[in-house]
Amino acid sequence: MTANTQSFRIATPRGGLQVQRWQPVAVASDLGAVAAAPIVLLHDSLGSVALWRDFPAQLANATQRVVLAYDRLGFGLSDAAPGPLEADFVAREAQGDFAALRQALALERFVVLGHSVGGGMAAHVAAAWPKQCVALVTESAQTFVEDRTLEGIRVARDQFAQPGQLDRLSKYHGDKAAWVLSAWVDTWLSPAFAGYSLQGALEQVRCPVLAIHGEQDEYGSLVHPRNLARWVPGPVEQEIVAGGGHVPHREQPERIVARIAQFLQPLA
């Protein structure tokens, strides 16, 4: 069974955002009539709606929840960003693009799921909307600027410098590809970002948390899910993927979808 899908745009003060919605066939067509809180996906530093691939449809069917994803401003099919990322761009997302999405779709309750830097943004969303956020799921989230993260970024930067490699990003981001790469590499490697930490946000999270992390994640060690468990005052479940890398939902989709569905099953 496949999920029904719909693409649309919403307006924000800074530009238009591309949004996609996946809906299990068995779920009523009216988003407001769905009892279970929808899942909102926040993509990684080079990501987009399209790069989630089949994962949202699989997640919608497994959880019987509506799944929503959007291209952040500057990414995918959304409008170009007005300038470089601010050093506090992770924290800003909760009151920026996410807040615009929440208002446009009248999301009174939601589950937020973020991959990589999207996991950090998801933590800020959960902290900012404690009464509305039913659950937080992080995948490969970095809780601070670890040396392993910076080394992985430097390796990727050198790979993208090779002829033709930027075309990989252009396929998803069009003429914004160079901006997308700079927004990741230059921001994370800048001295202004060195003090980045999720501790303050995680200490304000009040919903149940599932922290998914690959054992061999090239962009972050297992210190990050441990920090999540240490800093969140409420219940935190950890799913450590043996042999897994930075993108468990692509490497082992059936396992990750099933684990998220299990985690969300008792939650409305």
pLDDT of 1 reads 55
Give the CATH number, domain containing residue 87.
3.40.50.1820
Kindly list the strands in the beta sheet with 67-70, ordered across the sheet, starting from the edge strand earlier in the chain: 4-12, 15-23, 67-70, 39-42, 110-115, 133-139, 209-214, 236-241
pLDDT of 2 reads 75
Structural domain count, the chain? 1
Q: Report yes or no on 115 lying in a domain.
A: yes
Q: Please state the φ and ψ torsions of residue 219, each to the nearest 5 degrees.
A: -115, 10
Report how far Cα 242 is from the mean position of its chain's Cα atoms.
Answer: 21
Q: Report yes or no on 122 lying in a domain.
A: yes
Q: Report yes or no on 162 lying in a domain.
A: no
pLDDT of 30 reads 45
Q: Report yes or no on 163 lying in a domain.
A: no
Q: Report yes or no on 185 lying in a domain.
A: no
Q: What is this structure's pTM? A: 0.95
Splitting the chain (268 residues) into consecutive groups of 10 residues, what average pLDDT does each group show? 89 96 72 74 98 97 97 98 94 96 97 98 98 98 98 97 95 97 97 98 98 98 98 97 97 98 94
Position 74: which residue type? G
- Residue 241, token pair as written in the block: 């993927």
State which residues form the domain around 91.
Answer: 4-144+196-264
Q: Report yes or no on 74 lying in a domain.
A: yes
Which of 50, 102, 47 is closest to 72 using CA atoms? 47
pLDDT of 27 reads 53
pLDDT of 33 reads 40
C-alpha to C-alpha distance for 237 and 232, rounded to whole angstroms: 11
Q: Report yes or no on 38 lying in a domain.
A: yes
**Helix segments in the chain, DSSP class H:** 55-63, 89-92, 97-105, 117-128, 147-160, 167-173, 177-189, 199-202, 223-231, 248-251, 253-264
pLDDT of 35 reads 74
Report how far Cα 266 is from the mean position of its chain's Cα atoms.
Answer: 22
Say if residues 199 and 226 touch (Cβ distance below 8 Å). no
Q: Report yes or no on 95 lying in a domain.
A: yes
